[in-house]
Structure 1
Amino acid sequence: MRTLYVVAHPEATHHVEGVVGGWYDSRLTPVGVRAAVSIAQALRAQIPDGAEVELFSSDLQRTRQTAETVGALFDVKLTLDRRLREKSYGEAGGRPQEWLDRRFIPPPAAGERMDHDEGVKGAETKAQWVQRIYAAMDEILQRPCEHQIIVTHGGSLTFVVASWIKMPIESADYASFRGPSGSITTLREDDFFHTRQVVSLGDTRHLDAAQR
């Protein structure tokens, strides 16, 4: 049986500064640092002692910091993968959120959504974003490990889950499985039917300790 634990990094500086995240390389806030400890402890409570564990993370600071906290508790090597990053918002990254809001062109309700131009120079299309997340997931799932931890971003979580349930890329343009910052999503595949379950989505119960 394989279980994936997908972590959406906790509070980072771009959240409290009101600027666009994306590939902007923000760090965890003090609240986020405490939340990362709670995340690591929650994962430690779920994964049996002595079990083989693999750890993967986006290479941006806020995810790497979170993953390093988890890795220290499990004493496992961290594999960084830039394909697990959040969507790139191009020249909007690090600018005030209202700057992006004034320029952003939302996708149409119907028609071409995957290659839609959002009106922001250098921003990824949804197709580019989805394709890299799916490629990273394909490699992770080829590895025969029963417990795998993936640290990514709230937006990218959607496509980690979509990949897990084998949603065709061309159908992912309407998908939304986003979880809150600092949440843990648990995914499980059984050894008999090889069905893939979303056990929990965006669980934040462990964050209560970080907020005390």
Structure 2
Amino acid sequence: MRTLHVVAHPEATHHVEKVVGGWHDSRLTPAGVRAAVSIARELRARIPGGAEVELFSSDLLRTLRTADEVAGLFGVEPMADRRLREKSYGEAGGKPQEWLDRRFVPPPPPVGERMDHDEGVAGAETKGACARRVYAAMDEILERPCEHQIIVTHGGSLTFVVASWIRMPIESAGYASFRAPSGSITTLREDDFFHNRQVVGLGDTRHLDSARTD
């Protein structure tokens, strides 16, 4: 049995400053750090002691800080992978969200070419480019025979983690959206007999109740 525990990093400075995230290297807020502690405790409670655990993370500061809390409880080193980053918004990264909203071209068409749609922002990554790098990272993660794998990523790229897990073709992933709130844990599981891949839980935030009251 393989289980993937996919973490969407908690509150970061770009959330409260209302600026565009993407590859803008924002940090966790104090509330985000408290949530990261709760995430680590919840994962420790879910994963049996003595189980083999691997930890992967986007290489941005907000995900690495979250991964550090997890690493401390499991005694493992996070493996940073830039392919697990959020979609890049090019020159919009770090600018006010309303700046991007004014320049954003019409959304992709309901049918047809959706993955390589140009959003009209210089240097921005297409949805297809983001999907292809996340899929590539997932291919390498899943080649590793490990019972429990923790992946710390971003809300947007999490869609492609899940899509890759269920082996959705990339062109079909252009229609997919698996919404997981900041600080949530998504649980993916594969059985050893049929090798069916399940989405056991999507965007669970119950563990964050203690972070709000601590």
Question: TM-score by structure 1 length?
Answer: 0.99
Q: 1:121-136 counterparts in 2 under 5 A?
A: 121-136=122-137
CA distance in 2, matches of 1:186, 1:97: 30
Q: Alpha-carbon deviations, 1:57-78, whole Å to 9, x = none?
A: 0000000000011001111111
User: How many Å separate the matches in 2 of 1:148 and 1:110?
Assistant: 35
Q: How many residues align?
A: 212
Aligned to 1:88: 88
Unaligned runs of 5+ in 2: none
Deviation, structure 1 residue 196: 0.1
Where in structure 1 do 4 or more consecutive aligned residues deviate above 6 Å? none
Unaligned runs of 5+ in 1: none
- Name the residue aligned to 2:169: 168
Q: SS where residue 64 of structure 1 aligns?
A: helix
Matches within 5 A, 1:14-25: 14-25=14-25
Letter in 2 for 1:133: V
Instruction: Determine the C-alpha separation between the residues in 1 that align with 2:186 and 2:67.
Output: 15
- Aligned partner of 2:210 in structure 1 is 209
The CA deviation at 1:120 is 0.3
Cα offset, 1:112, TM superposition: 1.3
1:154 and 2:162 are equivalent in the alignment:
no
Identity %: 81
The reply on whether 1:140 has 2:141 as its aligned counterpart is: yes
Q: Which position in structure 2 is the counterpart of 1:66?
A: 66
RMSD after superposition: 0.5
The AA in structure 2 aligned to 1:163 is S
- 1:110 Cα deviation after fit: 1.9
Letter in 2 for 1:71: A
- Find the counterpart in structure 2 of residue 11 from structure 1: 11
Q: Could you state the TM-score of these two structures normalised by the residue count of structure 2?
A: 0.98
- 1:177: how far off? 0.5
What's the secondary structure of 2:188's corresponding residue? strand
The one-character-per-residue Cα deviations of 1:72-94 (angstroms, maximum 9, x if unpaired) are 11111110000000000000000
Instruction: Give the Cα separation in 2 of the matches to 1:34 and 1:169.
Output: 35
